[in-house]
A and B are shown apart, each in its own frame.
Chain A
Amino acid sequence: GQQVMQIPQYQHVQEGEDFTTYCNSSTTLSNIQWYKQRPGGHPVFLIQLVKSGEVKKQKRLTFQFGEAKKNSSLHITATQTTDVGTYFCAGPQLPASYDKVIFGPGTSLSVIP
């Protein structure tokens, strides 16, 4: 079945440095979602990308969907301590089902003040 992988697994950055996490799928995705989970909390939706090559920005966060719709990235500019958490990508497990949403293992971000 489809596998969703994320790298790196962990990232420690100094406050103010940039951060990027990459998401790769073994199969083409119809769409991809990104979530953030703070320590001890629950996942919170950040964004959904649907179109090939799509780029979306949310303040310091930039999300990209690859041209082949098999990979995606999340880039944070000038990290802050509020960015601490685990970032997950997720996508439907095609061709089985649009409704079977599979999550990657996540990238855990630590920000050193």
Chain B
Amino acid sequence: NAGVTQTPKFQVLKTGQSMTLQCAQDMNHEYMSWYRQDPGMGLRLIHYSVGAGITDQGEVPNGYNVSRSTTEDFPLRLLSAAPSQTSVYFCASSKRSGRSLTDTQYFGPGTRLTVL
């Protein structure tokens, strides 16, 4: 199993450009999420999904869109990039156990995004 994969590993954008960060998992996990990591601020939840066709907002959803058309893929779209979106982006997946209780989250290697 490849686990959670993310592409690209690095990306430089100009202000106003749009792009999609790709995330895929091959563990048949229902739950997937996107976090951004900034120095001293830990990981902040952007969006998450509990299954195909179901997405919801996290702590910092503004400026980002997601969709979940398959169990395997959970792309993150930046609509109009801004310098404040310069960050490291992590995708994670998890099986769900019991009543809406998420289990171990497996993280991808991350995408380092710079917006000029």
Contacts and interface: CB of A to CB of B under 8 A. Distances in A.
Q: Is B truly associated with A?
A: yes
B71 interface: no
B104 A99 contact: no
A99 B42 contact: no
Interface in A5-28: 6, 9
A100 B108 contact: no
Given A42-B90, A42-B110, A103 B42 contact: yes
B59 A48 contact: no
B58 A100 contact: yes
Given A100-B45, A103-B42, A43 B90 contact: yes
B65 interface: no
B31 A48 contact: no
29 contacts: A1-B59, A6-B42, A9-B40, A30-B101, A31-B101, A41-B109, A42-B108, A42-B109, A42-B110, A44-B107, A45-B104, A48-B103, A88-B42, A90-B105, A97-B100, A98-B100, A98-B101, A98-B102, A99-B50, A99-B100, A99-B102, A100-B45, A101-B48, A101-B102, A101-B105, A102-B45, A103-B35, A103-B42, A103-B43
